Structure 1
Amino acid sequence: MDIFSRLTFFSYVDYSSLGLLFWLWFVIGWRIEHPSAKHASVSVLMAGYRREWMRQMITRDPRIFDATILGNLRQGTAFFASASMISIGGVLALFGNTEQLIGIADDLTLNSEPNIVWELKLMVTLFFVTNAFLKFVWSNRLFGYCAVLMSAVPNDVDDPRTMPRAMQAAEINVTAARGFNRGLRSVYFGLASAAWLAGPIALIVASLITCLVLWRREFASQSRDVLLSGDAHDA
């Protein structure tokens, strides 16, 4: 069976729901990283605090506190990378044992479809989980780079290399956090993609709910209000 014959197993609603999933994943990610100046996202606000962290580190003696925080951040990325790898193994295991999955899916959708349909649907979930794993691994490595740069910041405040190196560490820290957040979004949409097993309508609903949850946490959450109140006090 060629690829075109396999594609006929899916309806236009299936393709539309899949397109919506990827479109929402791209749009919400772009909006979070490129918000308007008047309505910044939590991620952008936290990037400002990360830069301020590196500026405050310059005069902190000793810098054990900063090293501890960075170590905790690396542990978080390592945990999610390990969890993503386990998820990848779980999805791959389903490819070799689709009989039970088909039985559950048939009960949910009340129809019978060939194995290739379920395998292709699982490949979408596998894509998101794999992308999440790669983002978490790269984020972990960037936090390691940040640790090296922080160690290279001179203790002398008057040293001309102090502020530039601290800002280098800040930008690497921000980039690492961006990768971590992208990995989390892939996890969210990977969970949403699993709804396709119950049909295209379920996938549409799950995609919209996932996008709404991400939007609320970034633009309408209590934590965002707290971060903004901190900026107001600073002003």
Structure 2
Amino acid sequence: MNMITAFQSLTWIDGLLVAAYLGVWLGLSWLIEHPSQSRPSVTVLMSEYRRQWMQVMVTREPRIFDAQVMMSLRQGTSFFASTCLLALGGLLALIGNVDPLRGLAEGIGQGDAPAVVLQLKLTLVLVLLGNAFLKFVWANRVFGYCSVMMGAVPNDPVDPRTAPLARKAAELNIRAAMNFNRGLRAMYFALGAVAWLVGPVGLGLALVVTTWLVWSREFASLPRAIVLADTDT
């Protein structure tokens, strides 16, 4: 069966749900990074703390603590990038040979699904995981830029170069964190996309659950409440 026949074997509901899945993934990312002023996301709230961090760093001597935090951030991005790379390798191997999925497909009522249809459904997961990997790699690199910029900040707080370089370091830190968070969201949606193997109902349920998980962590989580809490109380 060729790819055209595979597309024909899927229903219009499948196509609609895949479009909605990708649209919600991209739209939710935009909403998280551009929220209303009355209800900021955790990502936006933490961006301000990253700017404050660089302001405090200027007066901290020595800056060992700042170096350790940056090392921890880069290790986190490296870990997730490595995890994505392993997952991509396994997924590519599975797409090349979907026979191991036959037992699972039969158990969920998809035993008559052609191999190319299963491969097509796994491709959605592959696209999301590939995006996550690229975001993590770029985040790691930008965190590296930030580390170099932090190292260029003079030790003298009154040096005219200190404040501008600290601001640049803060903005680089924020951009790296944005890409790291994009990678995490792509991983959430990649995990949810596996449910398409069950059928359009599975993908629809995964869309609702994944959207709720990502949205609640940014706009209705306990960490967000802690960040917003008045530090004077």
Per the normalisation by structure 2, the TM-score is 0.97
CA–CA separation in structure 1 for the residues paired with 2:33 and 2:63: 30
CA–CA separation in structure 1 for the residues paired with 2:109 and 2:203: 13
**Change in CA separation of 1:58 and 1:26 when aligned onto 2, cut-off 3 Å:** same
Aligned counterpart, 1:48: 48
Contact 1:109–1:199, Cα closer than 8 Å, also in 2: no
Aligned counterpart, 2:23: 23
Q: Which runs of structure 1 show a deviation greater than 2 angstroms over 4 or more consecutive aligned residues?
A: 1-6
Contact 1:102–1:118, Cα closer than 8 Å, also in 2: no
Aligned counterpart, 2:98: 98
- How does 1:154-165 map onto structure 2 within 5 Å? 154-165=154-165
Aligned counterpart, 2:181: 181
Contact 2:146–2:169, Cα closer than 8 Å, also in 1: yes
The unaligned stretches of length 5 or more in structure 1 are: none
Aligned counterpart, 1:35: 35
Letter in 2 for 1:162: T
SS of 2:108's partner is helix
Aligned-residue offset at 1:3: 4.2
CA–CA separation in structure 2 for the residues paired with 1:209 and 1:228: 26
- How does 1:41-80 map onto structure 2 within 5 Å? 41-80=41-80
Aligned counterpart, 1:136: 136
Aligned-residue offset at 1:7: 1.3
Letter in 2 for 1:101: L
> How many aligned positions are there?
233
Aligned-residue offset at 1:109: 2.2
Aligned counterpart, 1:107: 107
Aligned-residue offset at 1:58: 0.1
Aligned-residue offset at 1:100: 1.8
Letter in 2 for 1:20: A
CA–CA separation in structure 2 for the residues paired with 1:206 and 1:110: 17
SS of 1:8's partner is helix
**Change in CA separation of 1:105 and 1:2 when aligned onto 2, cut-off 3 Å:** closer
The unaligned stretches of length 5 or more in structure 2 are: none
Which string of whole-angstrom CA distances, capped at 9 and with x for unpartnered residues, describes residues 69-97 of structure 1?
Answer: 00000000000000000000010110232
Letter in 2 for 1:204: G
CA RMSD of aligned residues (A): 1.4
Aligned-residue offset at 1:105: 1.2
Aligned-residue offset at 1:111: 4.3
CA–CA separation in structure 1 for the residues paired with 2:3 and 2:99: 22
Contact 2:110–2:198, Cα closer than 8 Å, also in 1: no
Contact 1:17–1:201, Cα closer than 8 Å, also in 2: no
Aligned counterpart, 1:82: 82
CA–CA separation in structure 2 for the residues paired with 1:131 and 1:122: 14
Q: Percent of aligned positions with the same letter in both sequences?
A: 48
CA–CA separation in structure 2 for the residues paired with 1:216 and 1:112: 38
CA–CA separation in structure 2 for the residues paired with 1:171 and 1:12: 44
CA–CA separation in structure 2 for the residues paired with 1:129 and 1:2: 25
CA–CA separation in structure 2 for the residues paired with 1:175 and 1:95: 34
CA–CA separation in structure 1 for the residues paired with 2:110 and 2:4: 25
CA–CA separation in structure 2 for the residues paired with 1:161 and 1:172: 17
Q: Does 1:198 align with 2:182?
A: no
